[in-house]
Amino acid sequence: MKGKTRGCMGLTLAGALLLLSAAGCGGSEGERVPEGTEEAMQATPETQTQEAQTQGTDGAGLAPAESELYVERVEGLPEDFLFGADVSSYVAERESGVRFYDYEGNELDDQGFFDLLADQGVNYVRLRVWNDPYDAEGHGYGGGNCDLEKAVRAGVWATQAGMRVMIDFHYSDFWADPAKQQAPKAWEGLSVEEKAKALSEYTEESLTALLDAGVDVGMVQIGNETNGKFCGESDWDAMCRLFSAGSGAVRSAAAEKDREIKVALHFANPETEGRYADYAAQLAAHEVDYDVFASSYYPYWHGTTEHLTTVLSQVAETYGKQVMVAETSWASTLSDGDGHGNTVAEGSNDRNLPYPISEQGQAMELRDVIAAVHAVGDKGIGVFYWEPAWIPVQVYEESAKDAQAVYERNAAAWEKDGSGWAASYAKEYDPDDAGQWYGGSAVDNQALFDFSGHPLESLRVFRYVYTGTTAEPVAYEPGEDAAAEDAAAEDVEGNLLLNPGFEDADVSMWRLDAPGDCAGIREEPNNVRSGAYCLHFWAEDAFSYTAEQTVVLDAGTYRAGAYLQGGDAGDDAVFQLYVRVGDDTRTAETEMTGWQNWSNPEVTGLVIAEDGTEATIGVFVSSGPGGWGAWDDLYLVKE
C-alpha cells in the first residue's frame, strides 16, 4: 500500500537524492545572497534591520523603518534570535494551484516564495511530519498531507534560501495536539518498548534522509503539544521512554553526519498555573535528554504575554533549558476566505481581545510575543508563526453569485491535494473530529498573506522589531472591537436571570453546591467571556458540582443558554445546562475545547403553561482530575 510503505520505512536515501536532484539543490554550504543590487536593497523598507542582523548588532542606533504599521522596537534583541514560519501546508497548497506574489506583485515560484520569507527576516522554517497520512488506497488525510517527502521538498527550498529547518515529528498519522495523540496505524498494539524501538528507527531514518537530501536541519521536535499524552501513551513513565527514544535517535543521526541538532519538546496551555513546572519536573525526574522547552501561544486561548514570560522563565531558570514559542498567530480580518469557517470568526474567539483584528493587530501580537520570549533572557531563543501561508485555494465571497461554485472547487482541491485542514478520507483514522468536520483552512484570516497570496505588511515585523517603525503608536484597549462588546449576558434583551454574568457583589440568587473549593464565583479576568467575574472551577482530584437559580415565569415559550470554556476534564466528563420545572428537567450537554473557546449550550422551546410557574436554571459539571474552566453569561429569555 502506498501510504503504508511511506509511513513505515520513511523516504529512502535514493528517493531523497532523486528528489534533491529534481529540486535543483546543489548542496552548497554557503549563505544565500539576496537577489538584486546593493542599491536596490538599500531602497527597501527592511534595509536597516537587514543590516542589524547581518552585521551582528541588535539594531541600536539605527533609524526606525518606514511603515504604515506601528511596531515598537524590541530592545537588545540578539541577531541570532530565531524567527520561524511553519509552512507545512505549502506544498499541498501549491499542488492545489495556490499562487504567491512578492510586494511588487510579481508571481513567485517555489524557490522565490522561500526567498521572500528570508528577505523579510525569517531565518527558520518549521515543517510537521506525519508517519502515514494516507488511507489504504493512497488518499491523503489532508492538513497538507504532511509526509516526509513533502518535508524534504520544502526543506530544500528553505535551505537554498539560507534558512534552517525545524522538523516537527508528530508520531501520528494525522494531527497531534493536547486532545489527540493517536499512535500511527503501523504501531497499533505495540508495547511501550516496541513502540520506542519503532519510534527511534523511524526518527533516525527520516532525519538521515532529510540530511542526505541537503536539508539544513537545526532542530527536531519530538512530538507536538504533548500535554500529558504522547503517541497513544498517557503515563509519564511511558511518555518519557518515548521522548528519550526520539531524542537518542536525533543525537545518533546528528553525530553520524557531524551535525549539531537541537532537540525540542513541545507543550501547550501555558495559561494554566503550574502546568509547565509540572511537565519540566517530570522530564527532569525521568532524565529526558532535550535542549528546548517549546510552547504554543495563541492570545485568544493562552493568557497574557507577561504570564508566558513567567512560566517559560521558571523552566529556564530551574532546569537550564532554552525556551521558545513554537506556534503563534493572530487574525487580520474576521472574514472567511475559503468558505470553510475559521478558528477566529464572528462569535468565535473574537471577544475581550488583547489586540485589534487587523494587520496592525498582527504586528502588535507578533512583536509582543517576540518581546515576551526575549524577556526570559539568554535562554529565550525564538518565536515561530504558525501557517502564515495557509490561504484559500480560490477566494470565496459568500455574497458573490458564484460562491457555491467556488466553494465546490475548493472542496475538490481539499479532497484531492490535501490543502484543507482535513479530507473526508481522514475519517478512518479520526472519525470523531475529521470524520465530522473535514474541509478547508481554519486559519486563512491569520495568514501573513492576503487571500489572493500577496504578502501583508505584517510579514515584515520580523525585521521591524530590530528598529521599530516611523508610524505613530496605536492606542488600543481590550474590548474596543464591536464584536467583543455585543453579547454580554447583561445586554441580552429580556434576560430574566439576576446577575447572569456574576458581576454584582450580591450573588445570593445563585445556589452553589460545590464540595471543597472546586468551584466558585471569582474574579478571573483571563477566564471570563465578559466583565471580570465568572463561575470558575478547578480541582486536583475528580469533582462534580451544580450552580442554579430559580425564577418565576409567566406563561409562554422560553430559551435558556450559557457559555462554557476550559479543558483537561477527561473523556468521561459531563457538562450540562439544565432547566427544571416541577418534575420535568430539560438538559443540553456540551464540551470544553480549550481556553477562551466558548461553547454555547441552549435549552429551547421550553413551554410554560401557567403564569407564576417556578423554573430552575442551572449548570452541572462532573470532571476528571485536573479539569478546569468557567461558565459565564447565562441567560433566560421569553420567545
* Cβ atoms of residues 618 and 580 within 8 Å: yes
The three-class DSSP label of residue 553 is strand
Q: Which of 225, 415, 503, 548 is catalytic?
A: 225
d(CA 500, CA 303): 24
Annotated catalytic, 205?
no
Tell me which H or E stretch contains 84: strand 82-86
Alpha-carbon distances, residue 553 vs 408, 415, 490, 498, 526 (angstroms): 48, 51, 18, 13, 34
Please answer whether residues 495 and 636 qualify as being in contact, where contact means their C-beta atoms are separated by less than 8 angstroms.
yes
Task: Report the DSSP beta bridge partners of residue 618.
Answer: 548, 578
Q: Which three cell numbers stand for residue 507?
A: 450573588
Overall residue count recorded for the chain in this entry: 639
Cell, residue 111 = 524557490
Alpha-carbon span 435 to 425, nearest angstrom: 8
From 46, 327, 387, 457, the catalytic residue: 327
End-to-end CA distance of the chain: 57
CA distances from 59 to 46, 85, 311, 408 (A): 12, 22, 28, 49
Q: Taking each helix axis as running N to C, give the angle between helix 236-256 and helix 192-212, from 0 to 180 degrees, rounded to the nearest 10.
A: 30
DSSP letter for 638, please: E
> 599 forms bridges with which residues in the sheet?
564
Please count the CA atoms within 13 angstroms of the CA of 190 that sit on its side-chain side: 20
Concerning whether 327 is annotated as a catalytic residue, the answer is: yes
Cell (9 digits) for 518:
472546586
- Residue identified by cell 503504508 is 4
Q: Which residues are catalytic?
A: 225, 327
